Amino acid sequence: MSSKKKIGLIDVDGHNFPNIPLMKISAYHKARGDDVSWYQPLFSGHMDRVYMSKVFSFTPDYEYYIDTDEVIKGGSGYCISLKDGKEEFDKTKDIPLPPEIEHIYPDYGLYGITDTAYGFLTRGCPRGCDFCHVAAKEGKCSVKVADLSEFWHGQKNIMLCDPNILACRDWKELLQQLIDSKARININQGLDIRLMTEEKAEMIGKLRVESVHFAWDKYQDKETILPKFRQFKEITGWGARKTSVYVLTNFDTTFEQDLERIYTLRDLGYDPYVMIYDKEHTKGNDPVRLLQRYVNNRRIFRTISRFEDYDPKKG
């Protein structure tokens, strides 16, 4: 009798962004000779096991009947929830992948991906920002978890999902791996400007990136952050289009402080990008909503130099 198992996968968030754990689970089971496929309620039939993964807590859970002996649910979407506007981490619902799956080369074919590698070189972040779950879930220290070769086999593009690679003690070795790859790199979680040094900026300047983004979330970081922004520009010489900065609003800053951060960044040659905390509870005519429309529409922001002169009715 064959021990080949029927394994079903459900990407609860949909298929807009490839789910890395599911790609690893698929690779693991395929290597064992199991039959792996997306679970489809009407067509899949009975499965031995179904894995469900959810990254975003706001995605509703899968609601259909699943014909299987066993269901394994995992991902941030199940262990992180929003309570009073803050992300809360429930350790009892966190199911880390076992090492033999965590460190396997992902099955990119699951999503039909051929030219991009996705993964993490580090996990964790020492910052512990109130609006972020990374420190609670992954630890308050950025630690190396993989070499690039673990999830990259020569693809043209690399999508790096690290929360704070510059905080890792192995940052230099890891940035060098990215430089040596000569691949086009997208650091999708951004870089921590507060940790920038001359050496780091020089190495980042050697990466093949279309753009990098930073964040200026806390107004009180002003004194430490501004020299870092200046230093990064001087070393890389990159223009505004290549360097954007997320500006968190509606969290613990005043509107004046939001405007100050935006104008300061523009003066320094960065492209600010307004993020609204808890946007769901912000009305359409709230000043931060207008500010977001003004700043994030690059054409408007470059043409109208002061927010007071922006008339949303005129566009």
Q: Give the nearest distance from C-beta 132 to ligand SF4 in angstroms.
A: 3
Which of 125, 158, 204, 240 touches ligand SF4 (CB under 6 A)? 125
Q: In what order do the strands lie in the sheet with 243-249?
A: 212-215, 243-249, 271-276
Contact between 127 and ligand SF4 (CB under 6 A)?
yes
Cα distance between residue 107 and residue 162, in whole Å = 20
Binding segment toward ligand SF4, per CB under 6 A, in 10-18, 120-128, 148-156, 289-297? 120-128
Give the burial string for 252-275 (b: 16+ CB within 10 Å, else e). ebeeebbbebbebbbebbbbbbbb
Number of H helices, E strands in the chain: 10, 15
Which of 128, 139, 237, 312 touches ligand SF4 (CB under 6 A)? 128
Give me the phi and psi of 184, to 5 degrees please. -80, 125
Q: Give the nearest distance from C-beta 83 to ligand SF4 in angstroms.
A: 17
Cα distance between residue 176 and residue 251, in whole Å = 36
> For residues 6 and 133, which CB has a smaller minimum distance to ligand SF4 in the complex?
133
Count CB neighbours of 36 within 10 A.
20
**Taking CB under 6 A as the criterion, which residues in 207-236 touch ligand SF4?**
none
Contact between 245 and ligand SF4 (CB under 6 A)?
no
Quick check: 8 and 39 in contact, CB under 8 A?
yes
Give me the residue label for tokens 């609860």: 12
Contact between 275 and ligand SF4 (CB under 6 A)?
no
The tally of CA atoms less than 13 A away on the side-chain side of residue 205 is 16
Where does residue 112 rank: exposed (0-12), middle (13-18), buried (19+ CB within 10 A)? exposed
Q: What is the DSSP string of 49-112?
A: EEEEE---TTSPPP-S---BS-EEEESHHHHEEEETTEEEE-GGG--PPPHHHHTSPP-GGGGT
> For residues 74 and 190, which CB has a smaller minimum distance to ligand SF4 in the complex?
190
Q: Give the nearest distance from C-beta 216 to ligand SF4 in angstroms.
A: 11
Q: Give the nearest distance from C-beta 6 to ligand SF4 in angstroms.
A: 38
**Taking CB under 6 A as the criterion, which residues in 134-153 touch ligand SF4?**
134-135
Site string for ligand SF4, 187-206 (x = CB under 6 A): -----x--------------
Binding segment toward ligand SF4, per CB under 6 A, in 69-77, 97-105, 115-123, 129-137? 129-137
Kindly determine how many residues on this chain lie close enough to bind ligand SF4 according to the rule CB under 6 A: 10
Binding segment toward ligand SF4, per CB under 6 A, in 77-85, 126-134, 220-228, 278-286? 126-134
> For residues 127 and 289, which CB has a smaller minimum distance to ligand SF4 in the complex?
127
**Taking CB under 6 A as the criterion, which residues in 162-181 touch ligand SF4?**
163-164
Which residues in this chain contact ligand SF4 in the complex, by CB under 6 A? Answer: 125, 127-129, 132, 134-135, 163-164, 192
